Amino acid sequence: MHVKQILDRIVHQRALVVGDICLDRWCIYDPSLAEASRETGIPRVAVVGFESTPGAGGTVANNLVAMGVAKVSVLGVQGNDGSAYELGKALASRGIDGKWMVTDPEAQTFTYTKYLNLTSSAEDIPRTDFVNTRAWASATEEKVIQNLRAAAPAADVILVSDQAETAQGGVVTEAVRAALSQLASEFPAKVIWVDSRMRAEHFRHVIVKMNQQEADAACARSLGATDYEQLRNHAQSPVMMVTFGGEGVEVIHPKGRERVRTEPVDEPVDICGAGDSFSAGAAMALSVTGDPVLSARFGNAVASVTIMKKGTGTASPEEILRAAEQLVQ
């Protein structure tokens, strides 16, 4: 199936993004205004402007909207705070449905605050992350699972963003993983695509995507040796994909494994969010083609566009078509 045909079919698809839906707050700071505090003597970071965008799983949702998916919804947990208000506005402005989001008054909204130098445009000082490190209240976890079961039947694709790097505080808990596994059994034709930084080996019966570092770590934790095919068997995953940056993607399935090559980019502008854009493209392509190798090629094309943009960029259908043509030359 040609890339144009995939894009034409994607516009009829519905996607649900589940997991760590965060707020990316991009702050422009002026280093020339870094006056020291009179009270502490510590130089201030003088923010002169900012923009708020959906991040983490929200980056996946941004990419889905940009490539033309008919309906994109998100399901995560947010606090009852100003960042939740910003996140809601950022989602709505992009046409992303946030009605399944769960509000926990005891939590703080997962937020990445990033500082860009006004002079150089570089992100050159440490960012400020608002993360949750405690287990959710049982009512919050139950509401997430309730919303997941309510939203899942209408979605053609469910993309799971398990980005939390803390032992607790991520939306995708053991109970949520169990619910996803059950949904995979109930809806075998539905694409359930998981991108997990720290817990890939704990998912069952779903498609699992990792980068090489994450895959090697998951193998070490679960197997004691690097063996991607055995890891797929361990997770009982119908398809597993391991990305290798400019060296392409390893597709592991019951019939074996295949390396899907891509064209390395000499000077990428920003690789932040490349994995999210790959997941968005590959998952949607898999839904409409059923071909994991073809879907990996499509995901590569999407990621090749977004890494040439500052921040967590997205790719339009026109940009994906041009990128795909370049990758096959």
Show the domain range for 259: 3-21+57-108+133-327
Q: How many Cβ atoms are within 10 Å of 120's Cβ, its own excluded?
A: 9
Does 71 fall in a domain?
yes
For 153-167, how does the pLDDT look when each residue is reduced to its tens digit (9 = 90+)?
999 999 999 999 888
Task: Please give the tally of structural domains in the chain.
Answer: 1
Return the pLDDT at 156.
97
Does 13 fall in a domain?
yes
Query: Which residue stretches of the chain are H helix?
Result: 3-10, 57-66, 82-93, 138-151, 174-186, 212-222, 228-235, 274-289, 292-306, 317-327
**What CATH code is carried by the domain that includes residue 209?**
3.40.1190.20
Residues found in the chain: 329
The torsion of the CA quartet 310, 312, 317, 318, rounded to 10 degrees, works out to 0
**Does 268 have pLDDT greater than 90?**
no
Average predicted confidence (pLDDT) for the chain: 93
Would you place residue 329 in the very low, low, confident or very high pLDDT band (cuts 50, 70, 90)? very low
For 284-325, how does the pLDDT look when each residue is reduced to its tens digit (9 = 90+)?
999 999 999 999 999 999 998 887 777 678 889 899 888 887
Mean pLDDT of the region 86-90: 97
Output 328 or 97, whichever has higher pLDDT.
97
Return the pLDDT at 267.
67
Does 47 fall in a domain?
no
Q: How many Cβ atoms are within 10 Å of 191's Cβ, its own excluded?
A: 26
β-strand pairing of 207-211 with 157-162:
unpaired
Mean pLDDT of the region 171-195: 97
In percent, how much of the chain has pLDDT > 90? 81
Return the pLDDT at 327.
63
Whole-angstrom Cα distance, residue 80 to residue 83?
A: 8
Q: What is the CA radius of gyration of the chain?
A: 20
Output 322 or 192, whichever has higher pLDDT.
192
The sign one gets for the Cα dihedral 196, 58, 286, 257 is negative
List Cα–Cα distances, 37 to 50, 113, 114, 117, 241, in angstroms.
22, 21, 21, 20, 50
Query: Which residue stretches of 99-211 are H helix?
Result: 138-151, 174-186
Does 203 fall in a domain?
yes
Whole-angstrom Cα distance, residue 288 to residue 286?
A: 6
Return the pLDDT at 261.
86
Residue 183 burial (10 A CB sphere; 0-12, 13-18, 19+): buried
- Beta-ladder partners of 49: 28
Does 173 fall in a domain?
yes
Return the pLDDT at 253.
92
Tokens of 194: 């998981």
The sign one gets for the Cα dihedral 65, 66, 67, 70 is positive
Tokens of 267: 């000077």
**Does 6 have pLDDT greater than 60?**
yes
Would you place residue 85 in the very low, low, confident or very high pLDDT band (cuts 50, 70, 90)? very high
> Can you give the pTM of this predicted structure?
0.93
Mean pLDDT of the region 258-262: 89
Q: Which of 142, 121, 155, 132 is nearest to 270 (CA)?
A: 121
DSSP code of residue 35: P
* CB neighbour list of residue 165: distance below 8 Å, 6 or more residues apart: 197, 198
Whole-angstrom Cα distance, residue 272 to residue 311?
A: 6
Output 267 or 7, whichever has higher pLDDT.
7
Please give the backbone phi and psi of residue 167, each rounded to the nearest 5 degrees, phi first.
-65, -35
Helix or strand or coil: residue 227?
coil
**Does 66 have pLDDT greater than 90?**
yes
Does 96 fall in a domain?
yes
Helix or strand or coil: residue 153?
helix
Does 228 fall in a domain?
yes
Does 31 fall in a domain?
no
Whole-angstrom Cα distance, residue 299 to residue 267?
A: 19
Output 272 or 171, whichever has higher pLDDT.
171
**Does 239 have pLDDT greater than 60?**
yes
List Cα–Cα distances, 85 to 54, 56, 82, 164, in angstroms.
12, 17, 5, 21
For 68-83, how does the pLDDT look when each residue is reduced to its tens digit (9 = 90+)?
999 999 999 999 999 9
